[in-house]
Structure 1
Amino acid sequence: MNVDFYIENSYHISKLITKKYSTSFSLATSLLEKEKKRAIYAVYGFVRLADEIVDSLDGFDKAFLLNKLNDDLNYALENDISTNTVLVAFADTVKKYKINHALIKSFMDSMEYDLSKTTYDSHADLDKYIYGSANVVGLMCLKIFCNGESCLYESLELPAQRLGSAFQKVNFLRDIKEDIQSLGRTYFPEITEGELNEENIKHIELSIKKDFDEAWVGIKQLPGRSKLAVALAYYYYNGLFKKILRTPPEKIMSKRIRISNIRKYLIILKTAFMYKAKLI
């Protein structure tokens, strides 16, 4: 086994992680061109690994494990190799697409917040967390989509961040029961004493809708099949958002809202038609 074989199999492992953890994200990613596809798998594998440490490894020393991941990450970025295959694929992608290391640091900083910070009392605090946990991931993906076109990247930075913000806030609403009851976290400043009601959800709705509207402007300017893939993710999350809004607050607090498989299939057909008809 040589280094190239090792790196290639590292990408396959990140692809497997993506497919096992998120069918919707994996489906959208599968629509990309080959090289962009494997790069997005690498980014997802990395962020999923960090997220699993802070959210799922109960009973273990999460702070130690996250610090270890950070040390291994820095080594991989500096030396282009690691015994952690997820980091091998990610470091290779970072190098190929010249992803700014400051984005990666912001992401890891937000993961550290999840180890100790349980409430966000102001929108400034929440925005800072979302920037590190979601917006920078959108910017990493944008680097891959633009593939060296710096002017295009700069023009789409804000829409990419807005899309990451919208996705993250929808995730917060979808996972609100588990976040509050299992992890003891409350992300939205509007929610006090762990209570979701018609009044505070209306404020949250306006914020997410604004993010989606600003993101759509950028999606229409993405190159190649990146436009198709991101549009599919957009319509999926927008559909999930609308379903959450149609759900009574007490039900949102008691069960995880999902999009049915039939609805997902219809979203795929709609997005494919709009892309072929050049409506996006």
Structure 2
Amino acid sequence: MKEVFDNLSAACSRMITKRYSTSFSLGIYFLNEKIRQPVYSIYGFVRLADEIVDSFHDYDKILLLSKFKRDCFEAIEEGISLNPVLNAFQEVVNKYQIEKELIALFLQSMEMDLRQETYTPEKYDQYILGSAQVVGLMCLQVFTEGDKNQYEKLKNSAMNLGSAFQKVNFLRDVNADYYNLNRTYFPNVKLSEFSNTEKKIDRRRDRKRV
């Protein structure tokens, strides 16, 4: 029965969330029980894509991400995938009518991580939109359960929250990103001179958008 495989797929995404993010796993427990698993499934998808670009250094990352992207959209269309993470994700996408554009924007940001980008303010905003803000919107579509009015009302708040989480991650991982992955996201900032002043400037840019 496919139900057995679907349950296994959900369990895989739940395990990935708990293994990779203790804080996020803890936060999920504050949600209503009926929407916990869909959020686990979204996180499992996001985490797996992120692992491809951040961790699989001895493999062809471009090929792996391209295949992951193709398999993702095929899973959504067909309603099944032999990849348990994608199988769990497609179920959430189809049940809550998550827009494919959000998924495409997320994967586009993952593709940016495969290139040696020099982040201008515009590219910085583009990356945050795809890597974090749209993930907030995916979760919001689960939270609002098809209520379009409620979704539109909360959309900007969800995007701003996603942006804030991502910038905290940037600051937390700034050394690892720069020295291990040769990446720096903050535009017009030299890492050696990255001080509290630059951090405050970045926070002021966020407040102007609210």
TM tier, smaller: over 0.9
Aligned match of 1:104:
103
Q: State the SS of the aligned residue for 2:114.
A: helix
Aligned match of 1:198:
196
d(CA) in 2 for partners of 1:151, 1:104: 21
- Report how far residue 203 of structure 1 moved: 1.0
Aligned match of 1:72:
71
User: Would you say the 8 A contact 1:190–1:203 is kept in 2?
Assistant: no
Aligned match of 2:153:
155
Aligned match of 2:205:
207
Instruction: Give per-residue Cα distances to partners, 1:19-52, cap 9 Å, x unaligned.
Output: 0100110011122222210000000000000000
Q: State the SS of the aligned residue for 1:116.
A: coil
One-letter code aligned to 1:167: F
Return structure 1 stretches of 4+ with deviation > 2 angstroms: 192-195, 204-208
- Report how far residue 104 of structure 1 moved: 0.3
Aligned match of 2:178:
180
Structure 2 gaps, min length 5: none
Aligned match of 1:43:
42
d(CA) in 2 for partners of 1:5, 1:153: 32
d(CA) in 2 for partners of 1:31, 1:193: 37
d(CA) in 2 for partners of 1:86, 1:190: 37
Of the two, which has the highest radius of gyration? 1
d(CA) in 2 for partners of 1:207, 1:24: 27
Q: Considering only aligned residues, what root-mean-square deviation do their CA atoms show, in Å?
A: 1.5
User: Would you say the 8 A contact 1:42–1:86 is kept in 2?
Assistant: yes
d(CA) in 1 for partners of 2:174, 2:193: 10
d(CA) in 1 for partners of 2:100, 2:49: 16
| Higher alpha-carbon deviation: 194-203 or 53-62 | 194-203
User: Would you say the 8 A contact 1:54–1:114 is kept in 2?
Assistant: yes
- Report how far residue 75 of structure 1 moved: 1.1
Q: Sort the Cα spacing of 1:183 and 1:54 in 2 relative to 1 into closer, same or farther, 3 A.
A: same
Q: State the SS of the aligned residue for 1:115.
A: coil
User: Would you say the 8 A contact 1:190–1:200 is kept in 2?
Assistant: no
- Report how far residue 93 of structure 1 moved: 0.3
d(CA) in 1 for partners of 2:66, 2:141: 26
Aligned match of 1:145:
143
Aligned match of 2:19:
20
d(CA) in 2 for partners of 1:192, 1:22: 29
Aligned match of 1:266:
none
Aligned match of 2:54:
55
TM-score, normalised by the number of residues in structure 2: 0.95
d(CA) in 2 for partners of 1:59, 1:132: 26
d(CA) in 1 for partners of 2:14, 2:4: 15
Aligned match of 2:117:
118
d(CA) in 2 for partners of 1:201, 1:165: 14
| Higher alpha-carbon deviation: 194-203 or 39-48 | 194-203
One-letter code aligned to 1:7: D
User: Would you say the 8 A contact 1:43–1:90 is kept in 2?
Assistant: yes
TM-score, normalised by the number of residues in structure 1: 0.72
- Report how far residue 198 of structure 1 moved: 3.5
User: Would you say the 8 A contact 1:138–1:160 is kept in 2?
Assistant: yes
- Aligned-residue sequence identity (percent) comes to 46
Structure 1 gaps, min length 5: 215-280
Aligned match of 1:86:
85
d(CA) in 2 for partners of 1:193, 1:163: 25
Count of residue pairs brought into register by the alignment? 210
